Structure 1
Amino acid sequence: MRGRVPQGHPAGRHQPAQPGLHEGQAVTSPATVVVAYDGSEDSGNAVRWAAQEAGRRSAPLRVVSVIPPVTFVALPYPDSLNEGVPQEAEKLAQEGAAAAREYGATDVSAAGFMGEPAAILVDQSGSAGLLVTGSRGHRPLASALIGSVAYAVSAHAACPVVVVRGDLGPDAGEGPVVVGYDGSEIATRAVDFAADQAARAGRELRIVTVWFDTTEAAAALTTVTDLRTQLTADAAHVARLAGQRALQRHPQLVVSEVACEGLAAREMLAQAHDASLLVTGTRGHGGFAGLLLGSVSHAVLGGARCPIAVVR
């Protein structure tokens, strides 16, 4: 085990010559990337990100648009009221597909639906390798940090979900892929996903492990150097194990590990200040089994400035 690691400083760094997929890695048929599009600016950013990701994966891209039916509570309404909704949804999806082709996607399909957006997208995730959505669409209030659809899809989708936030400028994808790791099974899957993403994009992988003890006894001992040194060293060891796993998966990756003290969501967001993608599991060791999204992933979804991937 290494000695003390300063708070927020790299616990370790491995820098081989060139990042990327290693020779001889097994190749499987890429699963479809599905992206939600509703005509809003946020969903347009999601289409751009998804088109680029489909290209990196050599995967087909499906643009999905969903328009809810018009309903009136406790009042009868003619069936003809929603006759044109499926056609409008299909038209909207085709618009999104055209935008995806402008961003370089080649294998693109479009599908329009009438129904509840979150439910339709979750259903679409069953046959997808990745589901991409904007952080807000036309319907949620402008003050919402993350739209109800994006949150619901992140909690219930059958595949990893990427919620695209922030400005996708020319340098937006240049930063590292940052992933939180606490040693849990879900966090391990998040590290695998993050390593794959970093390898495809040729980016650094930054693994963040945060320790925080809320017990009164630990709080009373925060001035004891030995205790804090040991806890930080333990966190560094956990992060280092994740780094070794990532390098076994992709030997040419550039991997750094950070061990720090604090609140997990706050520290992850701080470490992702320059990230091209922030990856989190749905829950870690601190989550209740009945919660579909833990407090850390929820806070990260609301606070990140870059796209966020949520892995189940």
Structure 2
Amino acid sequence: MRLAFILSEIGSGIRRNLSMVTSVILVTFISLTFVGAAGLFQLQINQMKGYWYDRVQVTLYLCVDNSSETSCATGPVTKDQRAAIQAKLESEQFAPYVDTVTYESQDEALAHFRDQFANSPIVDSVTADQLPESFRVSLVDAEKYEVIDEAFSSEPGVDAVSDQRDFLEAIFRYMNWASVVALAIAGVMTFCAILLIATTIRLSAFSRRRETGIMRLVGASKAVIQLPFILEGVIAAVIGAVLASAALWGASRFVIDGWLANTFPQTAFISSQQVLILVPVLILLGAVLAGLSSLLTLRRYVKV
């Protein structure tokens, strides 16, 4: 009997405040979509870090005519210097750090340059002798870049030691900022959702003040009186969370899996299955926010 009463009160409250409940659903949907988007950004960043850091290479650029480093004081790298550098890289001393070593000649560097800058007007003005030879070193552990840098930065014949992580970290830094911005917007929208839920519950309680007064007189408990109002907000917020989850899954399924993954096959993207991790989090977050907001509103404005 009590359950039937609570359900009837919830239905009555939703019908009376249908426009406000719809507003709660929409605002919750938008705010939790931003929360989920921030979560997806972070999942994508972690996925790309794990993928690209495993493929990070350290590049040892060898001396050319115009090199200004002290290790290039004798001029362009000699055959003996090149052989010594390669032998050192492949020695037992660096075996725990170095996975593979690949040599790139000036002609190969020019071919790569022309592929990379095929549409640039300067491509025809660059010659092979202007580009350095290099050793591209794949590491066992990308975090051990400093070992190679310290050992070879002053090695005769080595002009510079470059780590791709510097470039990748800049990209990930911008992506992290995008995630923070999305989370900040989500915070603002969530605050708006909390205020709207509180207003909706307050109006619903005010419109039914006669019923609540009668319930108090007949001895109804505080929980029985407050529960229908709380559940109205929770139901609206959960519907908004479900819609947000569906929108995020759809974006992942059709935009990430269907378009980005095919357009950029060399990039590690998150899958739509990973998005499902966020679904229970969003639903729980929506329910908790709505429940707490409703409860605090009722304690302040509804004396039972």
Structure with more strand by fraction: 1
Pair member with larger Rg: 2
User: Which structure is higher in RCO with an 8 Å CA cutoff and minimum separation 6?
Assistant: 2
TM over 0.5: no
Range into which the TM-score falls when normalised by the shorter chain? under 0.3
* TM-score normalised by L of structure 2: 0.24
